[in-house]
Copies of this chain bind each other. A is one copy, B any other.
C-alpha cells in the first residue's frame, strides 16, 4: 500500500475546514497519538485532526479519499490489538470532540450518543434514569463507546448480558467517500435488508467512521452480590466455571484470575484485606444480579454448593459497596499490572466455555515447549481467556523467534476447540499474521471484497485486519 504524504496544501485545507486549533502538527502531539495500549508499539502520524461534527468528518474523508491519504480513526487509544496505530503515517482522525450524549430516550429504553463519549460516562448517565448499558471493558473509565463499537468489546457482564453488538440498534457512519448514512433503524427487531449495523460493529474502523450510536438499554438491576473464590488448582477453577452454568445459573460476572495475575495487581494498586494463602493457584470472581435479594442469596447458595465439590479455600463474600469496589478494582487493574511487570504479549483467546480447562492446560503445555511463562485471566463465563505471555528471563533472540511459533500453536488450539483468535480485543495490527488460522482464503477473500465495497481506495485504517 502506498499513500500520498501530507504537504502544506493538505494542512491548509484541514486548518480551513476544522479551524487551526483542531489540526495538530507538533512533535509532542505526534508522539501522543503514535501509540495505543498495545504492547510498546509506536507509529508516528503526519498530522492529527480533531473534528467536532459529522460534517467535518465527511469533509476530511472525502478529501483524503480523493488525495489518497491514509486515515486512521482513533477513539480513546485504549485498544489492545493496535487498531488505532497509524502504521502508514497519514492522518489520525480523533473522535474525542464528538462527546455529547444526544438523547436518553427513557420511554423507549434507548440512548443516542456521539462516538467519543466515555463508556462509563454513558453508563452513569443512563443509570440516573434507572437504565443499564451492560458492556464495560476494563478500561471503561477512559475508553470511548465508538472504540467499543469498533472492536465489539465485551467485559465482565457479557456472560449474562452479551457484548456490544447485542446493544447496537443503529449507527450513523461516514463512508470513505464522505457520504453519511444510518445503517438501520431504532428498533428491537429488523428484517429490512442486509444488517449493515452488525457489519460495522467489530470492523475496527476499516469500513466507515462511526459518528452516532443508538443503543438499547435495560432496566438497571437493583441488587448484586459478589464473591471471590480461591482454588488450589487453576484447572479446577476452570472446571468449576462450567459446573455452575450446568446448574442453570447465569451469573452476571464469572471472572478467572491466575495466582500471578492477582499478586501483580495487589502490588500495582495496593489492595488491603485480601489475604492469599501460599497454596492458592487461582481465583474466580463471581457476581449475581437481579431485583430480588432473596433469589440472589439462593443463587449464591447454589453456587457455593457447586464450589464445595472442588479444592477451594475460604470464600470471601463482599459485604459492602466498598469491598465490592475493591475486588472489581483489583480485577480491572490486572492487565495494566501484568504489563508493568515484564515485557509481554497479550492474546485474547476464546473457546466454548466448557473447553476452558483444555485451553488453559494447552497454553501451559505450549509454554513449556517453547520456554515461556504465561499469566492467564479473563472472562471465564464466556470462555474468553486473556493469555499474557511473559518475556521474563528469555533473551531477545529466543523471544523474537519462539513467541510467534508459540502464539500460533495457542491459536490453533483455540480453533481446534471450535473457538477463535480474538474474543473482544480485535485483530488490528498485531494479530493479523494469525488470521489464516481462523479463516481460509475463501473466507478472507469475502472479507477483503466487503472492505473494497466500503473503501475502494483502501484509505481507511490501512494495514489492519488483513495482511
- Are B194 and A352 in contact, CB atoms less than 8 angstroms apart? no
User: Of the candidates B194, B248, B439, which one forms a contact with A202 in the assembled complex, judged by CB atoms under 8 Å apart?
Assistant: B194
- Are A186 and B418 in contact, CB atoms less than 8 angstroms apart? yes
A83 to chain B, nearest CB (A): 10
CB-defined interface of A51-92 with B at 8 Å, one 1/0 digit per residue? Answer: 000000000000000000000000000000000000000000
The 6 closest A-B pairs by CB, nearest first: A198-B198, A185-B420, A219-B248, A107-B354, A189-B423, A186-B418
- Are B450 and A350 in contact, CB atoms less than 8 angstroms apart? no
Residues of B within 8 A of A189 (CB): 152, 154, 158, 163, 350, 379, 382-384, 423-424
CA distance A426 to B189 in the complex (A): 11
List 14 A–B pairs whose Cβ atoms lie within 8 Å, in order of A's numbering. Answer: A108-B355, A158-B188, A163-B188, A166-B166, A181-B442, A182-B443, A187-B350, A187-B383, A189-B383, A190-B350, A193-B435, A196-B443, A196-B446, A292-B292
CA distance A421 to B190 in the complex (A): 8
- Are A191 and B108 in contact, CB atoms less than 8 angstroms apart? no
A167 to chain B, nearest CB (A): 11
- Are A446 and B439 in contact, CB atoms less than 8 angstroms apart? no
CA distance A384 to B152 in the complex (A): 27
A246 within 8 A of B: yes
- Are B202 and A195 in contact, CB atoms less than 8 angstroms apart? yes
Residues of B within 8 A of A305 (CB): none
User: Of the candidates B183, B203, B383, B423, which one forms a contact with A194 in the assembled complex, judged by CB atoms under 8 Å apart?
Assistant: B203
User: Of the candidates B130, B163, B421, which one forms a contact with A192 in the assembled complex, judged by CB atoms under 8 Å apart?
Assistant: B421
User: Of the candidates B154, B190, B418, which one forms a contact with A423 in the assembled complex, judged by CB atoms under 8 Å apart?
Assistant: B190
A311 within 8 A of B: no
A353 within 8 A of B: yes
Residues of B within 8 A of A271 (CB): none
Residues of B within 8 A of A166 (CB): 162, 166
CA distance A69 to B346 in the complex (A): 50
A36 within 8 A of B: no
- The chain B residue sitting closest to A109, CB to CB, is B245
- Are A420 and B184 in contact, CB atoms less than 8 angstroms apart? yes
Quick one: which of A273-332 are within 8 Å of B by CB? 291-292, 295, 298
User: Of the candidates B175, B179, B382, B450, which one forms a contact with A188 in the assembled complex, judged by CB atoms under 8 Å apart?
Assistant: B382
Residues of B within 8 A of A196 (CB): 443, 446-447
Quick one: which of A94-151 are within 8 Å of B by CB? 105-110, 130, 151
User: Of the candidates B179, B188, B354, B440, which one forms a contact with A108 in the assembled complex, judged by CB atoms under 8 Å apart?
Assistant: B354
- The chain B residue sitting closest to A348, CB to CB, is B191
